[in-house]
Amino acid sequence: PVKPSAQPEQKQLRGASAAIAKNMELSLTVPTATSVRAVPAKLLADNRIVINNHLKRTRGGKVSFTHVIGYAVVRALQAYPNMNRHYAEVDGKPFVVTPEHVNFGLAIDLPGKDGSRTLVVASVKGCENMTFTQFWQAYEDLIRKARAGSLTADDFSGTTISLTNPGTIGTNHSVPRLQAGQGAIIGVGAMEYPAHFQGTSEQALTDMGVSKIITLTSTYDHRIIQGAESGEFLKRVHQLLLGEDGFYDEIFASLRLPYEPIRWVADIPEGAVDKTARVIELIDAFRTRGHLMADTDPLNYRQRSHADLDVLSHGLTLWDLDREFPVGGFAGKERMKLRDILGVLRNSYCRTVGVEYMHILEPEERRWI
């Protein structure tokens, strides 16, 4: 005899899950299209290292890639405010609605105790005039509320543009659904090397100057936003993430970092003077003038810089940061990455104590110091 099959388990969706289902049904009424752009991630990653090293030494906290990318999206809306509008029907007639503020929505993935996943979208309100520090703190407050289960109806309402980051779980490319009442949603893919380089060794990638990339998508309401606008908007985000218009300078100033950010430039090949000599020259420059960049005034913030202490002045770039150079016993090592060399030099000469000693004429005294 054939045994009767068990009935499939049925479970009614409630709360946030029911709201998500309703919003996804409504999203089917929005005619969307998607623009895609690949962005080099090296400058973003290198400046994030500088920022988090400084935060670790001082106030604490940590800046994520999504914090910086989200702030770039908000900044890009200054040039393309149409991306912050949405479509509405009033008395059966089509309208385009321009909100008073940028309410930046964050897609937050919340794992449940039973292994299920819940996606909620809450928004940072009125972030168009925020500094990076204000945006970062408001973003983190929203994440804490979501994880504590204390989000309110106000946190979910009024979102004008959203960001989702499936790249945190390795997704390279995402075309998310656009909720009714918003004009665009930006997707952030995983930070990876281009596929044809993924079998290449780290050493070879560093030598060749190959950057990881992130893939950004802009899924937009095609009734009010056209492909050219969406594409130009992603181009603007791309430009900001490469440091144009003082983007990282603004972030560094907001976080009160006492030095300038790393700059995006083309890799410089070996020339008549090889890079090892340039690195030794850079070390000598810090020993001579590093005290001029020391953060010795706690009452007066300013970004300190000196041409002789800029790696660009020595024919070195961000592409050299992970390359190893012979240093002949510097910091007790024979070979070091330029990133680590700069870390030792800044820790020695450019923190909260300035040390000047290269003017001493006696070699033994100089070596002792």
The token pair that represents 275 in the structure block: 């890079």
Give the residue among 345, 273, 348 at the shortest CA–CA distance from 314: 273
The token pair that represents 238 in the structure block: 């791309």
Alpha helices in the chain (DSSP H): 15-27, 42-57, 65-76, 132-148, 153-156, 202-208, 227-241, 247-254, 275-289, 338-349, 363-368
Catalytic residue, candidates 86, 173, 196, 222: 222
Question: Which whole-number Å values give the CA distances from 115 to 111, 118, 170, 183, in the listed order?
Answer: 6, 10, 19, 32
| Contacts for 301 with CB less than 8 Å, ≥ 6 apart | 256, 258
CB 330, CB 301: distance < 8 Å: no
Strand order in the sheet with 184-188: 32-40, 213-221, 184-188, 161-164, 104-111, 117-124
Residue type, 213: I
Give the residue among 185, 109, 124 at the shortest CA–CA distance from 154: 124
* Calpha distance 339→320 (Å, rounded): 8
* Calpha distance 211→276 (Å, rounded): 22
The size of the chain, in residues, is 369
Catalytic (active site) residue 359:
no
Neighbours of 65 (CB within 10 A): 18
Give the residue among 73, 82, 56 at the shortest CA–CA distance from 132: 73
Task: Give catalytic residue positions.
Answer: 222
